[in-house]
Structure 1
Amino acid sequence: MTALLTERDMPASVVRSSRAPGFPETGDDTSPTMLLNKALTEERQGNADAARAWFAEVSRQLPEWDEPVLRRAESFRFAGDDTEAGAAYERVLELNPNRPEALLGLGCLRLKCGDWQQAQTLILRCCAVAPDRADVWDALGVSLLLSGDWPAAESAFAEAHRLDPGNIEIALRRVDAALGAGSGETELCRLELASGNDPTNAALICARGALLERLGRRSEAADLLEVAVALAPGSATATAQLAQCLTREHRIAQAIPYFEAAIALAPDDLGLRNNHAAALVRANRHREAHDALEALIREHGEHVGLLCNLSNALASLGLQEEGAATARRAVEIAPGADTAWRTLCNALPYCDGIGGAALLQAYRSAAATLSRGTPGRVGTPPDPQRRIRLGLLSPALKVHPVGWLTVAAFEALDPEAFDIVCLGPHYADDPIQRQFRAIAAEWHTLDQHVGSARVEQLRGLEIDVLIELSGYGDHGLMGLCAERLAPVQVKWVGSQNHSTGLKEMDWFLTDRWETPPELAAFYAERLLVLPDGYVCYSPPAYAPPVAALPALRAGRVTFGCFNNLAKVTATVIETWSAILRRVPGSRFVLKCHQMADAQTRARILHGFARHGVAADRIELRGASPHRELLRQYGDIDIVLDPFPYNGGLTTCEALWMGVPTVTVPGETFASRHSTSHLSNVGLADWVAADRAEYERLAVRWAGDLAALAQLRQGLRARVKASPLCDGPRFGRNLGAALRHAWRDWCARERD
């Protein structure tokens, strides 16, 4: 909209008309070209209304000329008035059916409103009349992506990239299409060859890096993306790709400066600024993220992505109700968006008063938003006795709660009875992933962005039983279960805070403490109940020895909680305060990464002060390396579990370090983790029936230091000998449960 016109830009018929009697010569200040240039100048200076008035005047003088109508359409589109822009583009096409700019502009508007079929028709016409324009083939590729035709989209992007080989955005979209079409490895080979022939082409290098990142080879990807940024330092896209890759590789501190550099290059890119805020959340800079997201919402309005990230930031700051309310707002704006529902389902388990029925309803709503492509045959003919191909689906087969709580179980499965196939990202230097790789017969790298062709490839693996280990959380792969990758699908660990609500999820792996019979109605799945606990804990070899009871040397009891602040509600602080008031001289240590924020620390201390507990009795500790975190349990006499979202891995670690936990369960799965772990090691008497008993148990044990010291001294040996850490026993039980699920499917298939 910035280029000025000359008479050469006017069709011959229009030139003749403009020179007819009654029209001034083109050199005159009131000639059509001069008026149109005046309008374009007004547009450049931000005077859109004046510009459109001049566009209208030129159209009045030369009603058969499409140029002023086109410029008016672009003016409206630039201003975000899609209705007026669309009407103007349609008028252009009435005057000139083959005007490429109008075909493309109207096609893009149709894409924006979700009408990809009409968009494709318009853009295909544009390809025919302007075959040498890369932007037209690029738009065609986008329309084909939206329609789910990944191979055709890849071909369109290939043509766009041929016409504009240095365009980073097009190269990246070609990567997306190749992955969706299931040809990611082929595209990687092509990019490697092309980069060898053109080693300074930043678009090729950036695309290779992005593809490697999507294939799980993040360390290699980051190196390539750094090269791309060095070659194209002015590219916000390349810089943002590097920032996102570093974020997913958990190198958040390195990622954030690249986000900031990308934002400096593209300050109006809302998605980029939103991703920066999400990275701040992951960096545990929750307050900064919160403030940045609120500023973005004030500036741009309530976009779903902004609200979802704000919800996560609020919950992480311990503002659970505000987080849930923000997620509900995202659902109101986009009730069909899976991101909004997933965010709500991740917030609700942390909120006071949430019951099993309400949470199940929310998860069913989230499950209903997941896309489901064309159903295909999965699995092989039913044979209840044969070796089971067992798929493990997760981005967290590594040092992560999923890894700590499952790897020993999979290692203990009978290799004659199970053939393990892992589906997830690759982490080259991760010790727990090395354990998974040692037992896996196959490893297939994938991420969240899976197209229909890739789904068919995964179905072609002929997995019999698929265990989902990620849930609806960050980077979760639950959406693949909606596509039905295996005849038997089981949910276990990985954001396992309640039912998935997914009709395609057949079983939910649990135990009798997590889901007693009276709570079974709160689950959409059938319950696969293990005889002991529902997880098998693998303690780290570097865990320090259990320290002596600190109360004996300090002369006072120290309660503690090392859980995420998202689990610490106002009701929890009120309950902890009541315990501290009843145990004279006692102290409380709250350790979590959120305590690095001064404003959050002040709010937590104020919460205790409101209930009569002075700040000098509260110690707030920030994050530390895992070995040091475990060592600090040597300062704690009794752990006070948060509720309604209990400790999971945190409770296992406390027990291993000799520190028992007082807990109170509820109706939801997340509210019963500690009940399961404590019962599994023979400490069911530490499980309270209600808040009042929770307080009484904490006070009673604080008053019997001799018994507490004796329990602490033998607790690690007790935990080690219990089913919680007995890998072979757990493996036998898990194998029997999975065989039962498989035989059940075989029997139903034969009936």
Structure 2
Amino acid sequence: MKAHSCVDWVAAAAAMHHGEWQQALTLLLTFRVEDGFELSRRYLWCSRVLCELGRYSEAVEQAKQSANFAPGTSQSIARYRGLLIARATRRIAYGQVSTAIIWQLLKEDPASKTLQIQFAEQALKTFGDWRPAHQLFLNRGEDAKLSTKLEYWMDIRSRIYEGCTRKDNQLVKMRGFAEKFLTLPGIVGTPERSEQTEVQLSNRGRRTRRIGVISNLFCSGPVFYMGIGALTRLANTSKLVLFSRQSIDDWATDQFRRIADEWMDVSHLNPQQLEKKIRSAELDILVDMAGLMDLDVLKALSSKPSRKQYKWVGGQFSTTGLHCFDGFITDEVQSPRGSEQFHTEKLVRLKSGYVTYTVPPYIPKPEKPVEKEALVVGVISHPIKVVNVFLEFLKKEILNHQSQSDFKVELNFIGGRYGSPVVQKRIHQFLFPSIDQAESNVLIRFLPTTGHKNQLLAVRGLDWVIDTFPFTGGLTTLEALALGVPVRTYAGKTFQERHGVGHCAYSGLRVAEYDLQKIGPFGQEGPKNDGTALLKAGSQRLNHDLMAESLEELFMFGTSGVEVT
């Protein structure tokens, strides 16, 4: 190991700046450091690099080691160390541990804007709690200047989840965010491929056509359950090139690998490197199944490295704000006429519906719930969707039910995150701020579940589901319908506000059977769980062949079999 020089530090810093993480780690480990302060710095830099490489346990140890060699370092370095530990811990342990670390740092330095933003972000990811974000943006006007990417993105998500702004502003905000943070340097307007590349790719035959799919969710989750059916069939007619951005593999990942002609791990590439990797693959079509869940992917796609690019399932809850997509795949229920005003992309309305549902092999059979003294209903969306406007609606309906009805209702909040005391306290205090719940004929229960199968078993025992709004349930709605549990949902105007109504409609249900506004959350006029699956064999949401045919027509002819606006 050679003695270090300033050149070594500069080279390592340059590699980190350009996102060349493996090279940076190699450089950091190839020179000898003896000074305590510089040892501490190397441990911190190694921790940062290991985080980017997905080696989170090692990252925690490196950050902790840095304190042993420079115990008297500045407060800013101590905060940076804490943030690195918190970031890595969030990946290897339940988020409450990471949140507690940031909270402790924030108590020591309450004026730190960086820590305030990090804590607000962590509270969202761990508890679905918007209150720290609200505090962060308190007294800010519509035109307040947002200085950092994370701060800007948090503000936009608040508007998307809570519906707290005029609908046209959602597009304005997303477009501004995309221009500032999601566009590679030199990209202005709609990027185009060269004529030579166009001719080269358009001359390919069907089975030699190369379709790329990129996602950070090639695992058990929405991308699998709503996309694998059609993708499996497309693999018979095209060569699939899958670009994986994740660090977790499971049984669903194995199924994605089986249908891939080429599998590329691109989890640690920065946007510039990712753009080059995709461009070098010479794709005819690229399907983005990461979307707003992976902003680096969107930035890489801003230069249009593939001949054609489409946005589909996966982080698909709003416009991307970009102009690099040839279409935003949707359908006539999910995006009715007039929805164009909310998108920078062209809307591609598939006649098949925009997704299908693949039933997991372990899903329990539908079963009529055991008769109980009380009706048993549930909220099954992620706590991040249980926002104030939805809780205000529930509180009003609970008060109405107490004054007008005498039958009892058991309202269950189902899911692993509902086991958190922070989540329970927030919901309970909002719904019962001044009355004793024991005096109410609506009983609130929290049912934390472990594992997907146990979640499905808990949902099966409900009489019906009350869908969240403005951000409605996606995969959870399809799961409930497959289990025979009716869903009462609210139909809004924007994409994320219409997941529930879209899934119910394409499952073959009538509006009167799922309209939350007409039936109400506790009304007995609507359908109950009678043990019969509501996703039936003839449902378009189960017709993978039709879905694949619709995508084939889109990819081959651009507009045949679909409506593009």
* TM-score, normalization by structure 1: 0.62
1:48-67 Cα distance to aligned partner (Å, 9 max, x none): xxxxxxxxxxxxxxxxxxxx
Is 1:362 aligned to residue 180 of structure 2? no
Residue of structure 2 equivalent to 1:739: 556
Counterparts of 2:240 and 2:51, CA distance in 1 = 34
Residue of structure 1 equivalent to 2:455: 629
Structure-to-structure mapping, 1:232-631, within 5 angstroms: 235=43, 258=61, 261=64, 265=68, 268-278=77-87, 283-286=93-96, 289=99, 292-293=102-103, 295-296=105-106, 299=109, 301-304=111-114, 307-314=117-124, 317-320=127-130, 322-323=132-133, 326=136, 335=146, 337-369=148-180, 370-373=182-185, 377=193, 379-381=197-199, 383=202, 386-387=205-206, 388-413=209-234, 415-416=236-237, 418-425=238-245, 429-447=249-267, 449-450=269-270, 452=272, 455-473=275-293, 477-550=297-370, 553-580=371-398, 581-582=400-401, 584-610=407-433, 614=437, 617-631=443-457
Residue of structure 1 equivalent to 2:74: none
**Tell me, what secondary structure is at the counterpart of 2:469?**
coil
Counterparts of 1:145 and 1:612, CA distance in 2 = 56
- Matched-pair contact (CA < 8 Å) for 2:240–2:260: yes
- Matched-pair contact (CA < 8 Å) for 1:312–1:343: no
Is 1:649 aligned to residue 475 of structure 2? yes
**Tell me, what secondary structure is at the counterpart of 1:477?**
helix
| Compared CA separation, residues 591 and 157, structure 1 to 2 (3 A) | closer
Instruction: Give the deviation of 1:461 after TM superposition.
Output: 1.1
Structure-to-structure mapping, 1:724-735, within 5 angstroms: 724-735=541-552
Q: Which has the higher contact order (CA 8 A, sep 6+)?
A: 2
Counterparts of 2:97 and 2:277, CA distance in 1 = 43
Counterparts of 1:149 and 1:518, CA distance in 2 = 41
Structure-to-structure mapping, 1:55-94, within 5 angstroms: none
Q: Aligned partner of 1:347: which letter?
A: S
- Matched-pair contact (CA < 8 Å) for 2:184–2:302: yes
Q: Aligned partner of 2:224: which letter?
A: G
Q: Aligned partner of 1:737: which letter?
A: L
Structure-to-structure mapping, 1:154-303, within 5 angstroms: 164=32, 235=43, 258=61, 261=64, 265=68, 268-278=77-87, 283-286=93-96, 289=99, 292-293=102-103, 295-296=105-106, 299=109, 301-303=111-113
Residue of structure 1 equivalent to 2:489: 663
Q: Aligned partner of 1:492: which letter?
A: W
| Compared CA separation, residues 427 and 303, structure 1 to 2 (3 A) | closer
| Compared CA separation, residues 319 and 150, structure 1 to 2 (3 A) | closer
Counterparts of 1:380 and 1:516, CA distance in 2 = 33
Instruction: Give the deviation of 1:360 after TM superposition.
Output: 1.3
Residue of structure 2 equivalent to 1:82: none
**Tell me, what secondary structure is at the counterpart of 2:465?**
strand
**Tell me, what secondary structure is at the counterpart of 2:349?**
strand
Is 1:136 aligned to residue 7 of structure 2? yes
More strand by share: 2
Unaligned ranges ≥5, structure 2: 72-76
Instruction: Give the deviation of 1:339 after TM superposition.
Output: 3.5
Q: Which moved more, 1:722-731 or 1:256-265?
A: 256-265
Instruction: Give the deviation of 1:554 after TM superposition.
Output: 0.5
* TM-score, normalization by structure 2: 0.81
Counterparts of 2:260 and 2:390, CA distance in 1 = 42
Instruction: Give the deviation of 1:476 after TM superposition.
Output: 5.4
- Report which of the two structures shows the higher radius of gyration computed on alpha carbons: 1
Q: Aligned partner of 2:82: which letter?
A: R
Unaligned ranges ≥5, structure 1: 1-130, 171-202, 204-231, 249-253, 745-751
Structure-to-structure mapping, 1:96-175, within 5 angstroms: 134-140=5-11, 142-143=13-14, 146=17, 164=32
Q: How many residues align?
A: 533
- Matched-pair contact (CA < 8 Å) for 1:320–1:350: no
| Compared CA separation, residues 651 and 428, structure 1 to 2 (3 A) | closer
| Compared CA separation, residues 359 and 278, structure 1 to 2 (3 A) | farther
**Tell me, what secondary structure is at the counterpart of 2:316?**
coil
- Matched-pair contact (CA < 8 Å) for 2:218–2:252: yes
Q: Aligned partner of 2:176: which letter?
A: S
Is 1:638 aligned to residue 464 of structure 2? yes
- Matched-pair contact (CA < 8 Å) for 2:229–2:356: yes
Q: Aligned partner of 2:306: which letter?
A: A
Instruction: Give the deviation of 1:612 after TM superposition.
Output: 5.9
- Matched-pair contact (CA < 8 Å) for 1:664–1:687: no
Q: Aligned partner of 1:372: which letter?
A: L
Instruction: Give the deviation of 1:374 after TM superposition.
Output: 5.8
Stretches (4+) displaced over 6 A = 156-161, 239-248, 254-257, 331-334
Instruction: Give the deviation of 1:408 after TM superposition.
Output: 0.9
| Compared CA separation, residues 577 and 703, structure 1 to 2 (3 A) | farther
- Matched-pair contact (CA < 8 Å) for 1:391–1:423: yes
Residue of structure 2 equivalent to 1:714: 532
**Tell me, what secondary structure is at the counterpart of 2:136?**
helix
Instruction: Give the deviation of 1:538 after TM superposition.
Output: 1.0
1:592-627 Cα distance to aligned partner (Å, 9 max, x none): 333332243223212221386826711012231111
Counterparts of 1:463 and 1:630, CA distance in 2 = 38
**Tell me, what secondary structure is at the counterpart of 2:532?**
helix
**Tell me, what secondary structure is at the counterpart of 2:133?**
helix
Counterparts of 2:117 and 2:19, CA distance in 1 = 31
**Tell me, what secondary structure is at the counterpart of 1:610?**
coil
C-alpha RMSD of the superposition: 4.1
Counterparts of 2:64 and 2:12, CA distance in 1 = 29
More helix by share: 1
| Compared CA separation, residues 476 and 344, structure 1 to 2 (3 A) | farther
Instruction: Give the deviation of 1:323 after TM superposition.
Output: 2.2
| Compared CA separation, residues 650 and 515, structure 1 to 2 (3 A) | same
Q: Which moved more, 1:468-477 or 1:394-403?
A: 468-477
Is 1:678 aligned to residue 504 of structure 2? yes
| Compared CA separation, residues 399 and 315, structure 1 to 2 (3 A) | closer
- Matched-pair contact (CA < 8 Å) for 1:648–1:674: yes
Instruction: Give the deviation of 1:422 after TM superposition.
Output: 0.7
Instruction: Give the deviation of 1:687 after TM superposition.
Output: 7.0
| Compared CA separation, residues 678 and 149, structure 1 to 2 (3 A) | closer
Instruction: Give the deviation of 1:236 after TM superposition.
Output: 5.6
Instruction: Give the deviation of 1:391 after TM superposition.
Output: 0.9
1:391-443 Cα distance to aligned partner (Å, 9 max, x none): 10112112122122111110122633x22111114768522222222221112
- Matched-pair contact (CA < 8 Å) for 2:271–2:300: no
% of aligned pairs identical? Answer: 20
Instruction: Give the deviation of 1:449 after TM superposition.
Output: 3.2
